[in-house]
Structure 1
Amino acid sequence: MGFSVKSLATCAAYMVVGPTLMIVNKNIMDKEGINFGYPFLLSSLGLIFTGTLAHVMRFMGMLELPHGHLVTKKFWIRNIFPVGACHAATLSFGNAQYMFMGVALIQFLKAFTPMVVNVFVYVLLGKTKSQKVWLALLIACFGTSMTAVGNMSLNMFGLLLAAGSSSTEAIRLVLTQYALQDCKFTLMEGQYFLAPVGAFCLLALSFLFEGNRLLETGDLGKMVANPTSFFFAGSLGFGVQMLTAGVIQLTNSITLKILSQLRNSLVVLSGVLIYGEVITFGQFCGYLVSICGIVWYSWLEQQKQQAPTLPVKSTENEK
């Protein structure tokens, strides 16, 4: 899982498209914008676009499913459905956290998500990392956690929600990695199976928690009145889905979360440079520490890829 030109290009695109989607969604949800306050429904657009496109391509004979025979009922229950369910659960837990804890503490806890992903990579896939990789991840996570400032008051139920959010996100990413790397699914083939389940779970949450308000207020009409904005959001969501899967396929789920941490830091720093926003000295040091950890982790992964593999003599035919 080295960093080839293709890997670097995919990671770079992921770093750009993700924040762009955040800005578009913020404008859609902002009271000064379209004022469409339905995060579950909005988050489902990218998955709906992705799943629809994959199935249309399949119907038109433009998409092959060379590994479709692997998707038995048992495989679907154990590996496909949990991805969609965890996608919805992560968003649900993530939104609920803000009712019990401040933004600073939530960001502090989110900083350690790469460590949680690494744990689930070992638990679910049996893949281990060296002590140096663990240390690099810890440095990156600790640096990111230093950037969280504000109310750090702890709430036990909020802490459980944070643990649930990190765990479900980790499970989703690790199972996606299993489908794309271990089972060798192609990007679009993987989305053919994964995206519809995720869309269904998010739409189910939207129906439960947003449905009545959506119909009573007539806000559903805002999607018709602003087709360009919602189509753009769905298209960018498709891009995020494909790039997320691409990063996982070409690197791994841990690298994806590390990139997410770096991306968030760059968004904050760009706000400082462009809008003159103020950050504390402690936050600045945190960004530097985080970047050092990320660079070290990337170097370790590159060294692992370049390390020569010793041939193993087969004893299958020995008597």
Structure 2
Amino acid sequence: METRKYLAAYGYMALWIFLSAFVIMLNKYILDPKLGGFPFPLTLTAAHMLFCAVVSWLLVKVKLIDAPAMPSEVYFRCVLPIGALFAVVLWTGNAAYLYLSVSFVQMMKAMMPLLVYTVGTAFGTEKWCVRTGINLAVVVAGVAIASYGEVVFVLVGAAFQAVSMLSEATRLTLVQLLLQGRGIKLNPITTLYHVAPVCLMFLVLPFAWLEAERLMSQEWKVGPGLLLLSAAAAFALNCSIFLLIGKTSALTLNIAGVAKDVMLIYLSMTLYGSVVTELQVSLTQPEAVLITTSS
């Protein structure tokens, strides 16, 4: 039974790693002015959430999925904050790709396990361990050195990514509390059914303020087919995230993310010609080993 449980967990991780890498590389292509020529991160994010909201609503309405009633107390204390944080995560995370390379963003994401561990400790989903804390602090030092060695460092992009990571750490912890600690049986689809419309609601105002006018007045090279593929991939990715967190934990997801980050660094170098210095390469692999062995 234990072996089957571990194999299932590794299967969830592998699915999430593949989908996450695919969505990141596709979104980078779409958003990059030199590639896809669609520099509208809010629009792309809102399109993803609209797709997720519509598909999950249809699945529930045609009775393929049963959506349990959501108590108002849980909705206001968990679902609304998760939706708001999700909007911030997606917007700022996509905006960072306008300024930074995929490889450098993944290097910054090596800090995610520390952020999730710290937030989880504050919310009671993780227990503080001095050894783990020290190990994760070493990772932060490595990220700082990698940032120093970055050839094309843009402060605005780094700030966007920092806000995205902190919001993501808090969101994942709240998702874990919602899925595991509230006594409500939610699956990935029903979680999206409740969260996606809230996230879309929080994206509408900044979209209207920052991007709507430019979107209507500018020509863009990306066709609707590619945008639809991105939205469908984002839907699958969100399902895999909720599945992985529900079966394991938010910290497990971010530890698995280190392997994904290393893979994306090399994919970015191969596909998009991202420049990675020898100093950054030397820091990338030890961080992965350190985080994995500290869990």
- Counterpart in 1 of 2:49? 47
- Counterpart in 2 of 1:311? none
* Unaligned residue ranges in structure 2 (runs of 5+): none
2:218 counterpart letter in structure 1: T
Shift of residue 238 of structure 1? 0.7
- Counterpart in 2 of 1:16? 18
- Counterpart in 2 of 1:134? 133
User: Larger radius of gyration, structure 1 or 2?
Assistant: 1
1:4 and 2:6 correspond: yes
* Larger displacement relative to structure 2 (143-152 or 36-45): 143-152
* Larger displacement relative to structure 2 (48-57 or 83-92): 83-92
**1:43-122 counterparts in 2 under 5 A?**
43-66=45-68, 68=69, 71-93=70-92, 110-122=109-121
- Counterpart in 2 of 1:312? none
Paired residues of 1:104 and 1:150 also in contact (CA < 8 A): no
Cα separation, 2, equivalents of 1:291 and 1:107: 12
Normalised by the length of structure 1, the TM-score is 0.75
Cα separation, 1, equivalents of 2:274 and 2:100: 24
Shift of residue 123 of structure 1? 1.9
- Counterpart in 1 of 2:150? 150
Paired residues of 1:138 and 1:293 also in contact (CA < 8 A): no
Cα separation, 2, equivalents of 1:281 and 1:76: 48
Cα separation, 1, equivalents of 2:19 and 2:176: 20
Q: String of CA shifts for 1:149-194, please: whole Å, max 9, x gaps.
A: 2379997x99986664433222211111112222342222211111
Aligned length: 290
Task: Say what the alpha-carbon RMSD is for the aligned residues.
Answer: 3.7
Normalised by the length of structure 2, the TM-score is 0.81
1:55 counterpart letter in structure 2: W
* Larger displacement relative to structure 2 (96-105 or 27-36): 96-105
- 1:59/1:32 CA distance change after superposition, 3 Å: same
Q: String of CA shifts for 1:57-90, please: whole Å, max 9, x gaps.
A: 1111111124x2xx22232121111112112223
- Counterpart in 1 of 2:265? 268
- Counterpart in 2 of 1:214? 215
Paired residues of 1:179 and 1:190 also in contact (CA < 8 A): no
- 1:60/1:185 CA distance change after superposition, 3 Å: same
* Unaligned residue ranges in structure 1 (runs of 5+): 301-319
1:259 counterpart letter in structure 2: A
